[in-house]
Amino acid sequence: MAQYPPIMPDMPVLLHGGDYNPEQWIKMKDTIWPQDMELAKKAGVNTLSVGIFSWSMLEPEEGVYHFEWLDEVMDMLAKNGIKAILATPSGARPAWMAEKYPEVLRMDAMRHKQLFGARHNHCLTSPVYREKVRQINTLLATRYKDHPALGMWHISNEYGGECHCPLCQDAFRKWLKARYGTIENMNDQFWNTFWSHRYSSFEQVESPSPIGENWNLALSLAWRRFTSDQFCDFYSHEIAPLKEITPDIPCTANLMDFFPGIDYFKFGKLLDRASWDNYPPWTGDERDKESALHTAIMHDIIRGVGGQKPFMMMESSPSAVNWHPINRLRQPGILMLQSLQAIAHGSDTVQYFQFRKGLGSSEQYHGAIVGHDNSDQSRIFREVSEVGHTLGKISEVTGSAPESKVALIYDWDNLWILNEAQFGNNENKKYIETVKDHYAAWKQLGYNVDMIDQTGDLTPYQIVCGPMLYLLKDGFAEKVQAFVEKGGTYVATYITGWVNEENLAHLGGYPGPLRNVLGIWDEETDTLDDTRKNHFTYNGKSYACKDVCALVHAESAKPLASYEEYFYQGMPALTKNTLGKGQAYYIAARTDRDFLRAFYADVAAEKSLTPLMKNLPDGVLCTERSGDKGDYLFVMNTQPEERTITLPAGLNLRTDEAMEGEYTLNGYEVLVLKRLSSYSLHS
């Protein structure tokens, strides 16, 4: 059982709050700021993120600093018992900096230099930008190191994008040299004799571009890895003065939903806590099932990125956002569902963007706790206050975390190269969709799932699923083999083990170094368009195969099902290999979730795993967090209609009622049940 310390030691409860931009109201501060504090307290807000885009207010001219307003804000927060998540301002820069030092501006892949504007667009390499960031971060840390409001550092905002300027080209070449040593070796690893692409010096290498090199897959992969590493490096640079001056204050950077640009598992190792910004398109109808699953897997990815510790939902919208194509109002109940779903998956926070709706600019109609009505009587304000109240009631879950015997692999290197690779269906290899399908099957069966990447430790798990691991990182196959030999169950699918970490195909048949573990030879792969389906029968039931069918020979493995159509009729569609004390399955074709659900139910039964709840109705999800004080089952109805479930014995933490047996959840209702075994044991 895991019990983690609270994110902020002097705020040992679930955190509730959001992005707060008091500097936008500085000319009305005498009326607005005191109202903000009153409204924040009414809504049960205990944490606000400040300073995220404040650079031009902190340093309006080079070297001219104005911290007085922030001093006042920090004092005001402290006085009102609110903790500050204080941001470094690098997410957007002042105009004077762009004017005086154009090197801070990005260059795009077409080699166009950008103008001043927007945000999240600084050069990652620029020594000037790095120096300016070091200066301002040092000043912030020095000024607020002993301030009672300082609870955490919020580093920049939503790092992303890429820069192709000469400084970045130079850094890329150095990165390549460090990785490959010699240009000869790099040419070999990239297979550069193809199309006469051998370089004779690193100086000739340019980042991928539509007007230059855009067909060299290994170069593209290297560029993705480099850019991701540049963000790790930039983050390390940003936190260096903070760690020196405020060593006890935790740091985070807010991550994004399935953001492809940074290997979050690698980046996450640098974060004290992982955090992310959650903006699902809740539509108030059956599509919310998919939104809920999407959000669930993202919460679990972020928890995995943060080493399975409680993480932070750093942003979410209290109502409609302003940037989806159609911004539907949140139906009553959805805000509570969205908020408790985050907690259910291990978040110790519910934070929103934004506290108060601005009067102008591009986010003036984005959902906020306080609207342009400036009222505590709005529906949104009341719903946010109810969330605040509920977080208070369930606050004993703080520091507990979900535990799982099942891990699912999602891997950025694999995503990057599958986005580049030319074979099969070139419009969409459907890697993310496939991972989500496997995840959905486990969730519909009622299990907690840990999300890891290929570098993750497999030993805590009984079942590890690695769908579509086309690229196998060095050492991964050996790790899987040891896991299976010791008794684990490994599940692989079609398109596994084609290339090594450098994108060179394995000579000697797919799935490369996993061939022994899986006991198969995957000889060819058929790609089906939407008009074609194959079929197989598993446990007496027929299932459809779509998109991808691998033509597999069972070597030491045993076939469990075979194709029923096309020229490969009779070849295995599903195999099982036994190795040491464990087993390895190969799902040769892409199927719908119905098969995955039936199959994983059997795989779990073979391991004697039991779900958190049985017979979950369609649209109901559950998770469990465990800690020193007990085990907490979260049951979530992601649909507007009622759903009937059967509950284990427990205490409903939201109502203080004992519960057991049949219960009908209202639309979007969430139950937080402390299991009876745990509350009788622990209290």
Which of these ranges, 12-20, 157-165, 358-366, 491-499, lies near Zn ion under the rule CB under 5 A? 157-165
Nearer to ligand GLA, 384 or 514 (CB): 384
Query: SS3 string of 552-608?
Result: EEECCCEEEEECCCCCCCCCEEEEEEEECCEEEEEECEEECHHHHHHHHHHHHHHCC
Count of residues interacting with Zn ion (CB under 5 A): 6
Minimum CB–partner distance for residue 353 and ligand GLA (Å):
4
Q: Which of 46, 21, 76, 80 has the alpha carbon at shortest distance from 348?
A: 46
CB 314 within 8 A of CB 154: yes
Rounded to 10°, the helix 431-445/288-305 angle is 100
CB 196 within 8 A of CB 138: no
Residue 279 interacting entry, from Zn ion, ligand GLA, none, C-beta within 5 to 8 Å by type: ligand GLA
Q: Which of 347, 357, 348 has the alpha carbon at shortest distance from 380?
A: 357
Nearer to ligand GLA, 157 or 414 (CB): 157
Minimum CB–partner distance for residue 362 and ligand GLA (Å):
8
CB 16 within 8 A of CB 47: yes
Nearer to ligand GLA, 255 or 401 (CB): 255
Q: How far apart are the C-alpha atoms of 646 and 644, rounded to whole Å?
A: 7
> What length is written for the chain?
683
Residue 165 interacting entry, from Zn ion, ligand GLA, none, C-beta within 5 to 8 Å by type: Zn ion
CB 295 within 8 A of CB 278: yes
Beta strands in 302-421 (DSSP E): 311-316, 347-352, 401-402, 406-409
Nearer to ligand GLA, 22 or 488 (CB): 22
Rounded to 10°, the helix 166-180/217-245 angle is 100
CB 251 within 8 A of CB 268: no
Which of these ranges, 160-168, 235-243, 360-368, 461-469, lies near Zn ion under the rule CB under 5 A? 160-168
Residue 297 interacting entry, from Zn ion, ligand GLA, none, C-beta within 5 to 8 Å by type: none
The binder of Zn ion chosen from 163, 342, 548, 552 (CB under 5 A)? 163
Residue 554 interacting entry, from ligand GLA, Zn ion, none, C-beta within 5 to 8 Å by type: none
Residue 163 interacting entry, from ligand GLA, Zn ion, none, C-beta within 5 to 8 Å by type: Zn ion
Q: Computed from CA positions of residues 304, 310, 311, 315, in that sequence, does the dihedral angle turn out positive or negative?
A: positive
Minimum CB–partner distance for residue 367 and ligand GLA (Å):
8
Place of tokens 């924040």: 40
Looking at beta carbons, which pairs linking 457-462 to residues 24 or more positions away fall under 8 Å?
A: 458/407, 458/483, 458/488, 459/483, 460/405, 460/407, 461/404, 461/405, 461/406, 461/407, 461/488, 462/405, 462/406, 462/487, 462/488, 462/489, 462/607, 462/609
CB 613 within 8 A of CB 637: no
Nearer to Zn ion, 116 or 566 (CB): 116
Which of these ranges, 158-166, 453-461, 565-573, 656-664, lies near Zn ion under the rule CB under 5 A? 158-166
Nearer to Zn ion, 168 or 665 (CB): 168
Q: How far apart are the C-alpha atoms of 473 and 223, rounded to whole Å?
A: 17
Residue 321 interacting entry, from Zn ion, ligand GLA, none, C-beta within 5 to 8 Å by type: ligand GLA
Minimum CB–partner distance for residue 97 and Zn ion (Å):
14
Residue 168 in the binding site for Zn ion (CB under 5 A): yes
Nearer to ligand GLA, 303 or 366 (CB): 366
Residue 171 in the binding site for Zn ion (CB under 5 A): no
Catalytic residue, chosen from 23, 315, 420, 669, is 315
Residue 403 interacting entry, from Zn ion, ligand GLA, none, C-beta within 5 to 8 Å by type: none
Minimum CB–partner distance for residue 101 and ligand GLA (Å):
24
Residue 277 interacting entry, from ligand GLA, Zn ion, none, C-beta within 5 to 8 Å by type: ligand GLA
Minimum CB–partner distance for residue 142 and ligand GLA (Å):
26
The binder of Zn ion chosen from 165, 219, 406, 560 (CB under 5 A)? 165
Nearer to Zn ion, 165 or 621 (CB): 165
Residue 353 interacting entry, from ligand GLA, Zn ion, none, C-beta within 5 to 8 Å by type: ligand GLA
β-bridge partners, 471: 499
Q: Which of 121, 85, 87, 86 has the alpha carbon at shortest distance from 102?
A: 121
Minimum CB–partner distance for residue 66 and ligand GLA (Å):
22
Minimum CB–partner distance for residue 171 and Zn ion (Å):
8
Rounded to 10°, the helix 183-190/217-245 angle is 120
Which of these ranges, 163-171, 420-428, 487-495, 599-607, lies near Zn ion under the rule CB under 5 A? 163-171
Q: How far apart are the C-alpha atoms of 370 and 356, rounded to whole Å?
A: 5
Q: Which pair of tokens denotes residue 669? A: 């209702």
Nearer to Zn ion, 167 or 601 (CB): 167
Neighbour count for residue 341 (Cβ, 10 Å): 25
Catalytic residue, chosen from 158, 162, 383, 396, is 158
Minimum CB–partner distance for residue 120 and ligand GLA (Å):
8
Residue 591 interacting entry, from Zn ion, ligand GLA, none, C-beta within 5 to 8 Å by type: none
Nearer to ligand GLA, 357 or 438 (CB): 357
Build a one-symbol-per-residue string for 583-612: x at contacts with Zn ion by CB under 5 A, - elsewhere.
------------------------------
Q: Is 458 exposed, middle or buried (0-12, 13-18, 19+ CB in 10 A)?
A: buried
Minimum CB–partner distance for residue 223 and Zn ion (Å):
13
Residues that bind ligand GLA (CB under 6 A): 157-158, 277, 279, 315, 321, 353, 363, 366
**Catalytic (active site) residue 184:** no
Taking the mean position of all CA atoms in its chain, how far away is CA 349?
15
Within positions 97 to 156, which residues make up the interface with Zn ion, using CB under 5 A? Answer: 123, 125
Q: How far apart are the C-alpha atoms of 468 and 434, rounded to whole Å?
A: 8
**Catalytic (active site) residue 662:** no
Q: Is 69 exposed, middle or buried (0-12, 13-18, 19+ CB in 10 A)?
A: middle
Active-site amino acid positions: 158, 315
Site for Zn ion, rule CB under 5 A: 123, 125, 163, 165, 167-168
